[in-house]
Amino acid sequence: MAFKAYVQVGKPNGTIIRRETQGQFAEHLGHCIYEGFYVGEDSAIPNVNGMRTDVVEAFKAIDTPILRWPGGCFADEYHWMDGIGPKEKRPKMINTHWGGVVEDNSFGTHEFFELCRQIGCEPYVSGNVGSGTVEEFSKWVEYMTSEGTPMAELRAKNGHEEPWHLKFFGVGNENWGCGGDMTPEYYADLARRYGTYARNYGTNQLYKIACGANGRNWEWTEVLMRKGTNGGRRGAFGALSLHEYVWWRKSHATEVSEDSWFSIQRDGFAYDSLLAGHDRIMTKYDPEKNIGLSFDEWGTWFPVEPGTNPGFLYQQNTMQDAVLAAIGLNIINAHADRVHVACIAQAVNVLQSMALTRGADMVLTPTYYVFKMFKNHQGAELCPTFVGAPEIKKGLESIPSLSVSASQRDGALLITIANASYDEDADVDFDLGGFRGMATAQILQHDAPNGHNDFDTPNEVAVKPYSGIATRMAGGFGGPVTLSGLIPARSVVAITVKPGRR
């Protein structure tokens, strides 16, 4: 049985989906940095300057626009000076948040910028407000971005003469929790103080991201907008961060049931009201939407895979995650006027990853393929969409069955659609409002709700061409287009319509 649905795509509305909304997050946590991105120059695993080639190539292939580092909770315990200079002399520390392991600081500032250079993405560095001094915070910016200063001399001595370009700079992380357990009033004052000393050197202009709310803590946003961001005027901060995970604590990532599926997709759809709620408060102070939201931690959080370190947050990744990722990215697109940055958590081997590694092996996850299917939304102009489809009901709850967004770039229209139904296909008619062109489609789908890639079966789930979308042209070839076709249960489909022949 398939349910009937209707999707209407409007003309581009002038809002650009910023590239940085498809960002990634890499923390010193478990095997995200060490073994995930960084194996060291002497490793037998193919690498360039210590960065593993397979992983770097994978992130290049999805046009990764931005990478957030060094945390997370780790950021407010990180003392950047421990991570520069000769590696054998770098002090060690205990990573108290994540497994109590010894951090040898062999991956530090220089290595991070090298990783971003190889991937071709913008660096997003989070400064330490929770346990660091203003001086340390200020000198890090000087070290990274200045010329002709004492910190620039130190950087040159450590092998990098030229300043790096750094735009995105976080003023603490989760300072309402692991980053110092502060009240919003106290943090707002601290953010202004620390932010003051994060200087713009030469032509480098920082876009400072203050710590924003934990999920639906509206009060935090209210206080930060009132006290922390210069009354909502552009100046002190470019954005407030926002973190919200989709939790499922009853079973592991691969133990997918109708219950887990419903709960996860329901919480994914709830990202819409989360972003709308913070946007509403921000709009009171900043109606022109100069200050953005940086939704820089989102995604699923399951109990860790059996037999792995509970502090390493290692989880598998299935079609359940892929559909959630598509819902999340579609909703982020819909809020493109306020969401300037978004980073799924995290890039490799931690939470809802793009890639998992084991020794020299790497597998790409279903979530990775969603990012691949969505990458042409980056920098595109948002097209409003209207969806007419039945809701999925469970007990007294109901959620939408379809998640859709559309954008236009260089004359091509991209429609991304996820069917969140556990067992019903959607028979969809698309009205493209007079758009002309030829459609091609791709699909991410698996027979099993827990379809996933593992080291022995790395190609179980992958994006494939999809012939299930038919194009009709009113009045013959070249006329306005309508599309129709099946969006199977638990699948993600990307449709590209380009003017001219395929």
The DSSP call for residue 113 is: H
| Exposed e or buried b per residue across 439-460, where buried means at least 16 C-beta atoms within 10 angstroms of its C-beta | bebbbbbbeebbbbbeeeeeeb
Rounded to a whole number of angstroms, the minimum distance from the CB of residue 8 to ligand AHR is 37
The residue among 70 and 292 lying less far from ligand AHR, judged by its C-beta, is 70
Of 32-40, 139-147, 170-178, 451-459, which part binds ligand AHR (CB under 6 A)?
Answer: 170-178
DSSP 310-331: GGG-----BHHHHHHHHHHHHH
Shortest Å distance, C-beta 153 to ligand AHR: 33
Q: How far is the CB of 305 from ligand AHR (least distance, A)?
A: 16
Judged by CB under 6 A, the residue of 20, 35, 267, 297 near ligand AHR is 297
**Residue partners of 125: CB distance under 8 A and separation at least 6:** 69, 70, 112, 140, 144, 166, 168, 169, 170
- Asked if 381 contacts 14 with a C-beta cutoff of 8 angstroms, the reply is yes
Site map (CB under 6 A) of ligand AHR, residues 345-374, x = contact: xx----x-----------------------
Query: Is residue 172 involved in binding ligand AHR (CB under 6 A)?
Result: no
35 binds ligand AHR (CB under 6 A): no
Nearest residue (CB) to ligand AHR, 17 versus 246: 246
Buried b (16+ CB within 10 A) or exposed e, 312-332: bbbbbbbbbbbbbbbbbbbbb
The catalytic residue positions are 174, 297
Of the candidates 50, 70, 72, 449, which one interacts with ligand AHR according to CB under 6 A? Answer: 72
Size of site (CB under 6 A) for ligand AHR? 12
Chain centroid, CA 307 distance in Å: 27
- Which of 65-73, 124-132, 406-414, 419-427 is the region at the interface with ligand AHR (rule: CB under 6 A)? 65-73
Q: Which is nearer to ligand AHR, 178 or 190 (CB)?
A: 178
**Closest distance to ligand AHR from the beta carbon of 367 (Å):** 15
- Window contacting ligand AHR (CB under 6 A); options: 37-45, 71-79, 106-114, 183-191: 71-79
**Dist. CA 131–CA 431, nearest whole Å:** 54
β-pairing verdict for 93-95 and 47-48: unpaired
- Closer CB to ligand AHR, residue 122 or residue 174? 174
Query: In sequence order, what are the residues at sequence separation of 6 or more whose Cβ sits closer than 8 angstroms to the Cβ of residue 435?
Result: 9, 413, 480, 481, 497
Q: Are 473 and 432 in contact (CB under 8 A)?
A: no
Q: How far is the CB of 97 from ligand AHR (least distance, A)?
A: 7
For 184, residues 6+ apart whose C-beta sits below 8 A from its C-beta are 176, 219, 220, 222, 223, 224, 227, 228
CB 237 within 8 A of CB 301: no
71 binds ligand AHR (CB under 6 A): yes
Q: Which of residues 230-259 bind ligand AHR (CB under 6 A)?
A: 243
Q: Which of 73, 329, 331, 481 binds ligand AHR (CB under 6 A)?
A: 73
Beta carbon nearer to ligand AHR, 152 or 274: 274
Q: Which residue is nearest to ligand AHR (CB)?
A: 72
Which listed residue (17, 18, 23, 27) binds ligand AHR by CB under 6 A? 27
Nearest approach, Cβ of residue 120 and ligand AHR (Å):
24
Task: Between 315 and 330, name the residue whose CB sits nearer to ligand AHR.
Answer: 315
Which residue number, 293 or 494, has a Cβ lying nearer to ligand AHR? 293
Q: What is the 3-state secondary structure (H, E, C) of 405-465?
A: EEEEECCEEEEEEEECCCCCEEEEEEECCCCCCEEEEEEECCCCCCCECCCCCCCCCCCEE
Q: Which is nearer to ligand AHR, 27 or 272 (CB)?
A: 27
**Nearest approach, Cβ of residue 365 and ligand AHR (Å):** 16
Residue type, 36: G
Least distance from ligand AHR to the Cβ atom of residue 125, Å: 15
Residue 488 C-alpha from the chain's centroid: 26
> Between 50 and 212, whose beta carbon lies closer to ligand AHR?
212
For residue 210, the minimal CB distance to ligand AHR (Å) is 14
Report whether the peptide linkage leading into residue 172 is cis, meaning its omega lies within 30 degrees of zero. no
3-state secondary structure labels for all residues of 22-90? HEEECCCCCCCCECCCECCCCCCCCEECCEEHHHHHHHHHCCCCEEEECCCHHHHHCCHHHHCCCHHHC
State the Cα–Cα distance between residues 29 and 346, nearest whole angstrom.
10
Residues 486 and 425 sit within 8 Å (Cβ to Cβ)? yes
Closest CA to 296 of 241, 349, 227: 241
Which residue, 59 or 298, is less far from ligand AHR as judged by CB? 298
Residues 331-350 that bind ligand AHR (CB under 6 A): 345-346
- Tell the smallest beta-carbon distance from residue 311 to ligand AHR (Å): 11
| Out of 24, 105, 109, 173, the residue judged to bind ligand AHR by CB under 6 A | 173
Q: Which residues form the interface with ligand AHR (CB under 6 A)?
A: 27, 71-73, 173-174, 178, 243, 297, 345-346, 351
